[in-house]
Amino acid sequence: MLEPIFQFFEKLIDQFSWRRLIFASTLVLGTILCVVAFESYTGKFRLQRIDRVITLVEHANRLGPLLNTSSRGNLAIALSSATAELAAFTENDTTPFSLDPKILKGLAALAPWALFMVLLPIVSPGGNKSAVAGILIVAIPFAIIGGFLPDSRYSWLNYILYPIAHFAIIVFLITYFHQRKKT
């Protein structure tokens, strides 16, 4: 049943082609985006975990006198943590998968560069190693800067405007100086 999938990845390694790599990368990225979108919209995985903690606390409380003071304290901490996480989830104060906002902002700043690296083999079939290295040298500092940008009341500034604006400005500057260098 899984044999065709294993054969595909084996061919990706044995008979490498950029087309296969881009297809596999796009498929994996699409799957990840679908899972993130599903979790962002429904909170299913997170709510199941909270429900499981509450159920386990209920079962442990039924043991009653068999529990020592330390165990009761741990159960109280687990229950208060689960209710706090549920409150944060319902108030929408947290991000999907409980990722730190700095990491999310850094990933958002890195996203245009990652897309550029995926599209690079299509546009320029030869000599991609040095181009990918150059892209990473430029992208990583801007992703770090994006991660440490102060939080704004308008989250689209950190997650949309900064990534698109810095990418567009850097690409414009690179093409401008490259054109000047040619003439």
pLDDT in tens, 90-100: 776 555 556 77
Query: How far from 52 is each of 74, 79, 92, 144, 154, CA to CA, in Å?
Result: 16, 11, 21, 36, 34
Least confident of 51-55, 136-140, 145-149, 152-156: 152-156
- Closest by CA position to 132, among listed 147, 144, 116, 145: 116
Q: Name the pTM for this structure.
A: 0.50
Phi, psi (degrees; rounded to nearest 5) at 62: -70, -20
Least confident of 11-20, 32-41, 105-114: 11-20
Q: Is 127 helix (H, G, I), strand (E, B) or coil?
A: coil
pLDDT in tens, 100-116: 788 888 989 999 998 88
- What ranges do the domains of the chain cover? 99-183
